[in-house]
Copies of this chain bind each other. A is one copy, B any other.
Amino acid sequence: MYKAPVEEIAHMLSKVAGLDQAMEKGEAGELTPDLLSAILEEAGKFAGEAAAPLYEIGDREGASYSDGRVTMPRGWKELYTAWLEAGWNGLSGPVEAGGQGLPIALSVAVTEMWNSASMAFGIGPTLTIGTVEALHRHGSEKLQAVYLEKLTSGEWMGTMNLTEPQAGTDLAALRSRAERRDDGTYHLFGQKIFITFGEHDLTENIVHFVLARLPDAPAGNKGLSLFLVPKFIPDENGAPGLLNDVNCVGIEHKMGIHASPTCTMIYGGGAGETGEPGAVSWLVGEENNGLACMFTMMNSARLYVGIQGLGVAEAATQLAQSYANDRLQGRRPGNPADMVPIAEHPDVRRMLMTMKALTGAARAICYACGVALDLAHSNDPQTARFWNDRASLLTPMAKSFSSDIGVEVASLGIQVHGGMGYIEETGAARLYRDARIACIYEGTNGVQAMDLVGRKLSLSGGEAVKSLLSEFDAVVEDVRASNRPEFGETANALAAALADLREAAEFLGRNGGDIALYGATPFQRLFSLVAGAGYLARSALASDAAERVALARFMAEDVLADVSGLKRRTMAGAVLAETSVAILA
């Protein structure tokens, strides 16, 4: 059963991602090192003892649909209620709405734990967090007065409604429409698909944030507006009143995250109690500026999807390590008489080490992104901009790398289990099935790669990348200066990888268009591996633990060996453009 790695999480947050410095400078709210430890301990206890035991039943029973209503698996409502009452939803929420105003990085770290316990449990609240941010930043005072406190506490849950059958990645194709009404509200009509937690019985109300078009809106992305659409329209006391014209008409039959209902929603189909068709809606932000408001949610959501991959990776690693320690099979030269735990066999050791290195690398990237989001709230505009750039740069890597390695680590976890890994009761397969969606939603990993190459490399004239890489240069120097022989060739391997990364980035800077787009996915992997290795080396430098030095070395000398090939692939766009014509004819 999952046990939260509290000490490692605290170390990564404080010593690697920079939360220590943020706390020293008073940029982490009320947080102190002691409070940090206490919160992580409590969260770890909840994740391991309350949430993780419900993972299996959540997967097996799943959410079920009947007649417009979704019922969660047995025990899940009680689990959510206990979680809510412990105050976890509002951890980094706005103080004026009852939140605790603690750093996003801390919220990121505890969210890793919820996802390790069960990804389907972890996902719902992260969407609510996104809606809190959007409402807090873009919503009118009136709207905030009704909804902000309830969403911050998690008493009501929030959803994000973007996708329509003809519009997934391509939001310009959205067709849902909203009509202005005399009282300042809107009537919304349309169909949305793949709506996570669009309907459920965890909370007494659900607040949908929906992208739609006004009648006179321009075509494409610039004609989208964001609307708040409650399932039940609050009455004058703020309590759930009339059922709005919002209807869940079905949920998807998915490979995994069975306890996360994926809903098809009909707005304005005539299902409400309001007396006329059209879902009663309120504008969030300005008309036709919905995409910008939605991106407030999406950036946060992207990081939190990365955290899902990380959470699964940690859980899969623990499960595999535990099995490998217990399972006796085969013999070793030093002990030919007795069967040994399979954790003693080199090939299994390679798998376990790879799982740990990739998980650690993803954790560092995600946490660094979380701390950057916190520091981006600085009152000093230059500091704010610097950290905003850093968060923007790290977000696509946090999302894509962590979700990719979530699948890879879960797959290695199955392999360590041998045949038992393919049997559902073991739990390894469940992690693998769950993890796969994280590479897809909130912008596929291909979209993340294009974002990294097309927008993030050039942030602030390239300074965002330069400043991050110079941090890793400093890590290389610090490793060299440490004179610790246990680092082996870590410094040289990392320095060589940094050189490859720079060469690849310069190539992409010189070559736009398809040449760069063909190279986006390998480049994203390359950059993430180098960043992960840099952070793991920093983690080792900040610690006396032999394990951390060894992991940094393994990462640099083994895992980073992929970098030279990834560089070549990044720069192979012209070959791909040419050969693809015949191959895909």
Contacts and interface: CB of A to CB of B under 8 A. Distances in A.
A440 B423 contact: no
A295 interface: no
A568 B561 contact: yes
A518 interface: yes
Contacts of A580: 349, 353, 550, 554
Contacts of A254: 422-424, 429
Given A347-B446, A554-B575, A565-B563, A252 B423 contact: yes
A551 B349 CA distance: 36
B411 A407 contact: yes
Nearest to A357: B583
A96 to B, nearest CB: 36
B424 A169 contact: no
Given A568-B561, A575-B553, A436 B422 contact: yes
Contacts of A572: 557-558, 561
A399 to B, nearest CB: 14
A517 B345 CA distance: 9
B575 A557 contact: yes
A173 interface: yes
B415 A444 contact: yes
A145 interface: no
Interface string A400-423: 000000010001001100110111
B568 A330 contact: no
A353 B572 CA distance: 13
Contact of A415 (B167, B414, B439, B488): B439
A346 interface: yes
Contact of A356 (B170, B446, B583): B583
A253 B583 contact: no
SS class of chain A's interface: helix, strand, loop or mixed? helix
A449 interface: yes
Contacts of A517: 345-347
Number of copies of this protein chain within its complex: 2
Contacts of A419: 163, 168, 194, 440-441
Nearest to A333: B513
B547 A350 contact: no
Given A253-B423, A255-B424, A576-B346, A565 B561 contact: yes
Contact of A584 (B166, B333, B343, B565): B343
Contacts of A577: 346
A450 interface: yes
A583 B551 contact: yes
Contact of A582 (B415, B441, B547): B547
Which of A353, A419, A424, A520 is most buried by chain B, counting CB atoms within 10 A of its CB? A419
Given A346-B576, A521-B347, A569-B558, A425 B253 contact: yes
Interface string A555-585: 0011001111110110011011111111111
B347 A449 contact: yes
B582 A546 contact: yes
13 contacts: A163-B419, A255-B432, A347-B449, A347-B518, A347-B520, A350-B521, A414-B440, A415-B439, A419-B440, A432-B436, A550-B580, A561-B572, A564-B565
Given A418-B444, A550-B579, 15 more contacts: A168-B329, A168-B419, A170-B329, A170-B339, A173-B329, A194-B419, A252-B423, A253-B425, A346-B573, A411-B436, A414-B436, A433-B433, A489-B575, A557-B575, A558-B572
